[in-house]
Amino acid sequence: MKNVHFLNGRLVDEDHLLISPRDLGYSRGYAAFEFMITTGGRPFMADRHIDRLFNSCEAISLKMPWSKQQVADWVQQTVDANELVDEDMVMRIIISGGSSGTLTLAKTPTIVIIVEARMVHHSEDYANGVRILLTEFDRYEPQAKTTNYVQAIRVMNAAPHDVDEIIYFSNNMVREGTRSNIFAVINGILITPRTGVLGGITRSVILNDLELSTGAEARDFTVQELLSATEVFVTATGKEVMPVTKINDELVGDGTVGNVTKEVMVKFKNFFESYKR
């Protein structure tokens, strides 16, 4: 079955998922987006994703002519058209500046909802952990999820094949990954950077919805603190909770997935599975 997508108020198939090359999202990189997943035919944490989408548009002065409820209805309409009850799918909602021959915004933005099969990550990565690299970089408007992934594409394509993620730091403070948030167990406390980051939805579930034996808090920490952490993991909608057992060329802790990380993985999975019921 071919996937059904949404474009400017109507459902379309892949062959008709077309925008003008004059669209400011294409010609000038002026767009915000959300990446969400379905479970049991239901978009996971849709309200938080749509709230963040509107916040991202506001941060880059991209005016939204629709209400949050209207966008939520279009998302559900697209899910229903694809009959996604039996398999998890990913959805990308993109809002761009619309077709324009100058820097002037179009009267109405372009809205696209793209549906794709969910990519499955290797089970051994969750069992054994992955490697990450650190690089210095300040992301433009980090609180906004924009389509500006120039740096992310550059560093990920230049990275060794065994690297799962690149983590940005600035002024010696750890920030976030190219497509993820980072958590670390430092002095027995589970923490994630507070400033200069995009507030991830998986991150928000860990901070606000899971009852963890260690608790979890948002506070900034240095590169040196990260390198001395006993456990590290990254979070993202697609990969959920991914253990990290190597940073650059150094092992994290004893090089195995730690107990705090395992607890978070299990409790997040349970939260995700319960969402469909």
Whose CA is closest to 108, among 41, 232, 4, 8? 8
Q: Tell me the per-residue pLDDT of 84-110, one tens digit each, with 9 for 90 and over.
A: 666 789 999 999 999 999 999 999 999
Please list, in sequence order, all residues whose beta carbon lies within 8 angstroms of the beta carbon of residue 130, skipping any fewer than 6 positions away: 163, 164, 165, 242, 243, 244, 245, 246
- Mean pLDDT of all residues in 205-221: 96
The model's pTM is 0.94
Q: Tell me the per-residue pLDDT of 186-208, one tens digit each, with 9 for 90 and over.
A: 999 999 999 999 999 999 999 99
Give the model's pLDDT for residue 87. Answer: 75
Q: Where in 41-171 does DSSP place strands (E)?
A: 42-43, 89-96, 110-117, 130-136, 163-170
- Helix, strand, coil proportions of the chain in percent (round to 5)? 30, 30, 40
pLDDT-based confidence at 119, cuts 50/70/90?
A: confident
pLDDT at 1 over 60: no
* Residues 43, 40: Cα–Cα separation, whole Å: 8
**Domain range 5-117, its CATH number among 3.30.450.20, 2.60.15.10, 3.40.50.10070, 3.30.470.10:** 3.30.470.10
Contact 270, 153 (CB under 8 A): no
Give percent of the chain with pLDDT exceeding 90: 90
Using DSSP, state whether 116 is helix, strand or coil.
Answer: strand
Give the model's pLDDT for residue 55. Answer: 98
- Return mean pLDDT, the chain: 95
Query: Strand 217-218 to strand 189-192: parallel, antiparallel, or no bridges (unpaired)?
Result: parallel
Give the model's pLDDT for residue 40. Answer: 82
Q: Tell me the per-residue pLDDT of 19-43, one tens digit each, with 9 for 90 and over.
A: 999 999 999 999 999 999 998 888 9
Residues of the chain with CATH 3.20.10.10: 123-275
Please tell me the CATH superfamily of domain 123-275, with its number: D-amino Acid Aminotransferase, subunit A, domain 2 (3.20.10.10)
- Mean pLDDT of all residues in 48-52: 98
Q: What are phi and psi of 169, to 5 degrees?
A: -135, 155
* Residues 51, 104: Cα–Cα separation, whole Å: 25
- Mean pLDDT of all residues in 256-263: 98
The token pair at 147 is: 């389509």
Tell me which DSSP letter residue 120 carries: P
Q: Does 215 or 86 have the greater pLDDT score?
A: 215
Q: Where in the chain does DSSP place strands (E)?
A: 5-7, 10-12, 31-39, 42-43, 89-96, 110-117, 130-136, 163-170, 173-177, 181-186, 189-192, 217-218, 231-236, 240-247, 250-251
Give the model's pLDDT for residue 120. Answer: 85
Residues of the chain with CATH 3.30.470.10: 5-117
Whose CA is closest to 29, among 93, 101, 97, 92? 97
Give the model's pLDDT for residue 173. Answer: 98
